[in-house]
Amino acid sequence: MGLVVQKYGGSSVADAEGIKRVAKRIVEAKKNGNQVVVVVSAMGDTTDELIDLAEQVSPMPAGREFDMLLTAGERISMALLAMAIKNLGHEAQSFTGSQAGVITDSVHNKARIIDVTPGRIRDSLDKGNIAIVAGFQGVSQDKKDITTLGRGGSDTTAVALAAALDAEVCEIYTDVDGVFTADPRVVKKAKKIDWISFEDMLELAASGSKVLLHRCVEYARRYNIPIHVRSSFSGLQGTWVSSEPIEQGDKKVEQAIISGVAHDTSEAKITVVGVPDKPGEAAAIFRTIADAEINIDMVVQNVSAAATGLTDISFTLPKTEGRRAIDALEKNRPGIGFDSLRYDDQIGKISLVGAGMKTNPGVTASFFEALSDAGVNIELISTSEIRISVVTRADDVPEAVRAVHSAFGLDSDTDEAVVYGGTGR
Ligand code: ADP
Ligand code: ASP
Ligand code: MG
């Protein structure tokens, strides 16, 4: 008998009908002779609504209480799902992250899983139950407080459980038919990818393709867990994310030169204006940011003006950390020494990802030409071996993504990508 882990995102369980539909799918998997563990997200936009609510009572809620609040969303869906399955005549038990043995560090709002001890899940499976686990949450090892894993964290819960239970596959059910060459909400002609390597998927996820979370893909690569991303609304095969290409017919699927285009409008840009051009300045700025436990993304330093010996340093970071970063820099202004700070949250990032970039000259040139033909101005550039990213105005992002997608021949000439549900929030 095989063991499968299935994860259903918020849009798949958005209402009672959705929960009943998903329950039927889960029962099918069980009837096919599998042991089934289900990880479920909060219904629809519940997590966003809880965040809005918290902000109405306190502008800076304490991390411990914030996590306690947010985990309530997944508790609702897990219990309802277990009820719906029982109603179909099958046994199911729901478990919180803590009960399922998801042990984390104690960094509230973005805790990392450090161990998974799924004893209770195993017992429940051995008794013939379907086990339903609340995604996105755990319990901290030292303080025993309830933690959350960061937005979209149910993907990580699913892969971590799949690894701990030695599952054959981790199925991620969502509101699109798999991983596409671009976000189907932006590019109607995006194509479904049959297979993608962990490496390319990591870059897409890190560049904003929220269909899979970066940490989840990292985890899957470390433990070599194949992920199958697919729709909970259709019966179609989705996208396999794994180390080795899958077989189609008697041939292996080939690695694409370009896997896709990702975009991200969740970042902001801070420019530190008038920084003395001498050793140690960049170090002082980024030490301040690091001490505030804020992750940054791109960094650019301008050439200093000869007359003044002053330069500007810009960097990007999650918008949600903008306020704290500005406060931290202002506090250390005397030590660092700069004139002023500029904050810009109207930026967007567009990234082209593909392992073939390493060996195909001209990819960068074609990428910039596509943006220029679309009349899009580039503000920052960064590259890795298999990715090129640029920062532009946020308003330009949809047009820029479509232009790059077409320029690299990624447009489908047959199907339109289907988005089955969700609000895209
Ligand atoms: P869930 O609630 O199931 O976790 P998410 O909203 O987190 O779903 O992720 C699914 C969404 O990811 C899709 O509706 C789509 O808009 C978005 N997305 C972004 N990039 C891609 C991509 N390359 N392929 C597929 N979906 C993508
Ligand atoms: N409910 C959480 C969120 O909206 C976790 C998840 O859906 O993966 O971010
Ligand atoms: Mg998600």
Give the model confidence (pLDDT) of 393-408 as tens digits: 999 999 999 999 999 9
pLDDT above 90: residue 191: yes
Whether the per-residue pLDDT at 295 is higher than 80: the answer is: yes
pLDDT for 60 beyond 90: no
Contacts of 34 (CB under 8 A, 6+ apart): 1, 2, 3, 4
Interatomic CA distance for residues 260 and 405, integer angstroms: 7
Q: Report the distance separating Cα 401 and Cα 263, nearest Å.
A: 7
What's the CA-to-centroid distance between 149 and ligand 2, angstroms?
9
Nearest C-alpha to atom 1 of ligand 1 is from which residue?
9
Rounded to the nearest integer, the mean pLDDT of the chain is 95
Q: Determine the Cα–Cα distance for residues 338 and 340; give it in Å rounded to an integer.
A: 6
Confidence of residue 251 (pLDDT cuts 50, 70, 90): confident
Distance 138 CA to ligand 2 centre (A): 13
Ligand 1 touching residue 188 (CB < 6 A): no
178's tokens: 């798999």
The verdict on whether residue 210 carries a ligand-binding annotation is: yes
Band (pLDDT 50/70/90 cuts) for residue 298 is very high
Contact residues of ligand 2, CB 6 A cut-off: 9-10, 41-42, 47, 73, 135-136, 151-155
- What are the angstrom distances between the C-alpha of 208 and each of 344, 359, 388? 19, 24, 13
The annotation status of 9 as a binding-site residue, yes or no, is yes
Scan for tokens 């003395």, then name that residue. Answer: 276
What band does 161 get if pLDDT is binned at 50, 70 and 90?
very high
The radius of gyration of the chain from alpha carbons, rounded to an integer in Å, stands at 23
- Which ligand approaches the C-alpha of residue 229 most closely? 1
**Position 370 pLDDT exceeds 80:** yes
pLDDT digits 0-9 by tens, 313-367: 999 999 999 999 999 999 999 999 999 999 999 999 999 999 989 888 899 999 9
Atom in ligand 2 nearest the alpha carbon of residue 45: 4
Contact 97, 71 (CB under 8 A): yes
| Spans of all domains in the chain | 3-250
What is the SS3 assignment for 395? helix
Token digits of residue 293: 């436990």
Q: Output the CA 322–ligand 1 centroid distance in Å.
A: 25
| Ligand 1 atom closest to Cα of residue 174 | 3
Q: Are 109 and 50 contacting, i.e. CB atoms less than 8 angstroms apart?
A: no
Query: 61 pLDDT band (50/70/90 cuts)?
Result: confident
Q: How far is the CA of 156 from the centre of ligand 3 (A)?
A: 10
**What sign does the dihedral 107-112-116-121 (CA atoms) show?**
positive
CA 155 / ligand 2 centre spacing (Å)? 8
Helix orientation angle between 214-223 and 154-164, rounded to the nearest 10 degrees: 10
Backbone angles phi, psi at 154, to 5 degrees: -65, -30
230 is in an annotated binding site: no
* d(C-alpha 197, C-alpha 256), whole Å: 10
pLDDT score, position 91: 98
Provide the CB-side half-sphere exposure for 24 (13 A, CA): 10
Any atom of ligand 1 within 6 Å of the Cβ of 424: yes
User: Nearest bound ligand to CA 8?
Assistant: 1
- State the average pLDDT over residues 260-268: 98
Residue range 125-141: mean pLDDT, rounded: 98
Provide φ and ψ at 270, rounded to 5°: -110, 130
Query: Is 47 annotated for ligand binding?
Result: yes
Do residues 198 and 221 lie in contact, with contact meaning Cβ atoms separated by under 8 Å? yes
Using alpha carbons only, give the angle 327, 107, 391 rounded to the nearest 5 degrees. Answer: 55
Question: What span, in angstroms and rounded, lies between the C-alpha atoms of 367 and 258?
Answer: 11
Q: 94-132 burial, b if ≥16 CB within 10 A, otherwise e?
A: bbbbbbbbbbbbbebbbbebeebebeebbebbeeebbbb
CB-based contacts of 324-333 (< 8 A; 24+ apart in sequence): 324/292, 324/294, 325/270, 325/289, 325/292, 325/294, 326/270, 328/288, 328/289, 328/291, 328/292, 328/294, 329/270, 329/272, 329/285, 329/288, 329/289, 332/284, 332/288
Region of poorest pLDDT, from 95-99, 170-174, 191-195, 249-253: 249-253
State mean pLDDT over 239-263: 91
* CATH architecture assigned to 3-250: 3-Layer(aba) Sandwich (3.40)
Average pLDDT, integer, range 148-176: 97
Residue 304 has pLDDT above 90, yes or no: no
Angle value at C-alpha 50, between 49 and 55, nearest 5 degrees? 100
Q: Is 171 in the pocket of ligand 1 (CB under 6 A)?
A: no
pLDDT in tens, 17-50: 999 999 999 999 999 999 999 999 999 999 999 9
Residue 208: nearest ligand to its CA? 1
> Largest Cα–Cα distance of the chain, in whole Å?
79
pLDDT digit string (tens) for 68-103? 999 999 999 999 999 999 999 999 999 999 999 999
* Percent with pLDDT over 70 in the chain: 100
The strand order across the sheet containing 3-8 reads 92-95, 130-134, 35-40, 3-8, 169-174, 227-231, 239-242, 195-197
The lowest-confidence range among 5-19, 186-200, 240-254 is 240-254
> What CA–CA distance (Å, rounded) separates 202 from 102?
23
State the distance from the centre of ligand 3 to the C-alpha of 113, rounded, in angstroms.
17
Residue whose tokens read 């309830």 = 146
Average pLDDT over residues 226-252: 93
Closest Cα to atom 11 of ligand 1? 211
Ligand 1 proximity of 354 Cβ (cutoff 6 Å): no
- Provide mean pLDDT across the span 271-279: 92
Cβ of 13 less than 6 Å from ligand 1? no
Relative to beta strand 3-8, strand 169-174 is parallel
**pLDDT for position 302:** 81
Instruction: Please indicate whether residue 156, judged by its CB atom, sits closer than 6 Å to ligand 1.
Output: no
Does residue 424 have a pLDDT over 80? no
375 assigned to a ligand binding site: no
Ligand nearest to the CA of 238: 1
Atom of ligand 2 nearest to the CA of 157: 8
Q: Give the model's pLDDT for residue 406.
A: 97
Strand partners, 60: none
Q: What single-letter DSSP state applies at residue 47?
A: H
> Residue 112: is its pLDDT beyond 80?
yes
How sure is the predictor about 9, in pLDDT bands with cuts at 50, 70 and 90?
A: very high
Confidence of residue 247 (pLDDT cuts 50, 70, 90): confident
Ligand nearest to the CA of 153: 2
Retrieve residue 305's tokens.
């003006």
pLDDT score of 305 more than 80:
no
Which pLDDT score, from 0 to 100, does residue 148 have? 98
d(C-alpha 237, C-alpha 234), whole Å: 9
